Chains A and B, each alone.
Chain A
Amino acid sequence: MANPSDFLATPDTLGNFGPYGGRFVSETLMAALDELEEMYERLSKDPAFQEEFDKDLAHYVGRPSPLYHAERWSKKIGGAQIYLKREDLNHTGAHKVNNTIGQALLAKYSGKSRVIAETGAGQHGVASATVAARLGLKCEVYMGAEDVQRQALNVYRMKLLGATVHPVTSGTKTLKDAMNDALRDWVTNVDDTFYIIGTVAGPHPYPKLVRDFQCIIGREARQQCLDQVGRLPDALVACVGGGSNAIGLFHPMLSDESIKMYGVEAGGHGIETGEHAAPLCAGKPGVLHGNRTYLMEDEAGQIIGTHSVSAGLDYPGVGPEHSWLKDCGRVNYVAANDQEALDAFRELTLVEGIMPALESSHALAYAGKLAKEMSKDDVIVVNLSGRGDKDIHTVAQIDGIGID
Chain B
Amino acid sequence: MSRIQACFAELKAANKTALIPFVTAGDPHPQHTVDIMHTLANAGADIIELGIPFSDPMADGPTIQLADERALEHGVTIHDAIAMVKSFRETNTQTPVVLMGYLNPIEVVGYEAFAQEAKEAGVDGVLTVDMPPEAAGDLNAALESAGMDPIFLIAPTTTEARIKTIVSAAKGYLYYVSLKGITGAGHLDTDDVSAKLETIRKTTDLPIAVGFGIKDPETAGLVAKLAEGVVVGSALVNIVAENQDQPAQIIEKLTEMVGSLRQGIDN
Contacts and interface: CB of A to CB of B under 8 A. Distances in A.
A175 to B, nearest CB: 12
B108 interface: yes
Given A184-B61, A286-B104, A301-B78, A26 B153 contact: yes
Interface stretch (B12-20, B40-48, B50-58, B141-149): B50-58
Interface residues of A, number: 38
A297 B54 CA distance: 11
Contacts of A170: 62, 65, 69
Contacts of A25: 58, 130, 132
A303 B102 CA distance: 12
Interface stretch (B27-35, B82-90, B115-123, B174-182): B174-182
B58 A286 contact: no
B155 interface: yes
Contacts of B153: 26-28
A31 to B, nearest CB: 4
B78 A300 contact: yes
Nearest to B103: A287
Could you say which interface size class chain B belongs to?
Answer: 35 or more
Interface stretch (B156-164, B201-209, B229-237, B240-248): B156-164
Nearest to B185: A188
B1 interface: no
Given A187-B181, A188-B182, A190-B180, A302 B55 contact: yes
Contacts of B182: 184, 187-188
Nearest to A305: B55
Contacts of A23: 132, 134-135
A29 B59 CA distance: 10
B128 to A, nearest CB: 9
B129 interface: yes
Interface in A278-319: 286-290, 295, 297, 299-304
A80 B123 CA distance: 61
A27 B154 contact: yes
A83 to B, nearest CB: 39
Given A286-B108, A302-B72, A24 B103 contact: yes
A30 interface: yes
Contact of A26 (B79, B109, B129, B134): B129
A306 to B, nearest CB: 12
A398 to B, nearest CB: 29
A176 interface: yes
Given A184-B182, A187-B180, A301-B104, A28 B58 contact: no
Interface in B199-238: none
Nearest to B212: A28
A136 interface: no
Contacts of B166: 27
Contact of B130 (A24, A190, A304): A24
B189 interface: no
Given A24-B131, A25-B132, A31 B108 contact: no
Contacts of B10: none
Contacts of B108: 286, 297, 299-301
A286 B109 CA distance: 11
B189 to A, nearest CB: 14
A183 interface: yes
Contact of A301 (B105, B131, B157): B105
B78 A289 contact: no
Contacts of A289: 56, 58
B104 A295 contact: yes
B56 A297 contact: no
A187 B162 CA distance: 17
A303 B104 contact: yes
Nearest to B177: A28
A287 B130 contact: yes
A303 B79 CA distance: 17
A14 B134 contact: yes
A215 to B, nearest CB: 27
Q: Which among A24, A32, A189, A299 has the highest number of chain B CB atoms within 10 Å?
A: A24
Nearest to A169: B62
Given A24-B131, A25-B130, A26-B129, A300 B77 contact: yes
Q: Which among B55, B72, B134, B153 has the highest number of chain A CB atoms within 10 Å?
A: B55
A297 B104 contact: yes
B256 interface: no
A31 B130 contact: no
A55 to B, nearest CB: 34
A25 B129 CA distance: 7
Contacts of A255: none
A111 interface: no
Given A184-B58, A188-B182, A301-B78, A287 B107 contact: yes
A302 B108 CA distance: 9
Contacts of B77: 300
A272 to B, nearest CB: 23
A188 B181 contact: yes
Contact of B56 (A26, A34, A180, A188): A180
B135 A171 contact: no
Q: Which among B129, B152, B155 has the highest number of chain A CB atoms within 10 Å?
A: B155
Interface in B90-104: 102-104
Nearest to B53: A302
5 contacts: A24-B135, A25-B132, A27-B177, A28-B180, A300-B105
Given A27-B157, A30-B157, 13 more contacts: A26-B58, A26-B129, A27-B152, A30-B155, A31-B159, A184-B61, A288-B104, A290-B130, A300-B105, A301-B104, A302-B72, A303-B55, A303-B56
Interface of B: 54-59, 61-62, 65, 69, 72, 77-79, 102-109, 129-132, 134-135, 152-159, 162, 166, 177, 180-182, 185
Q: Which 5 A-B pairs have the closest CB atoms?
A: A301-B108, A301-B105, A28-B155, A26-B59, A31-B157
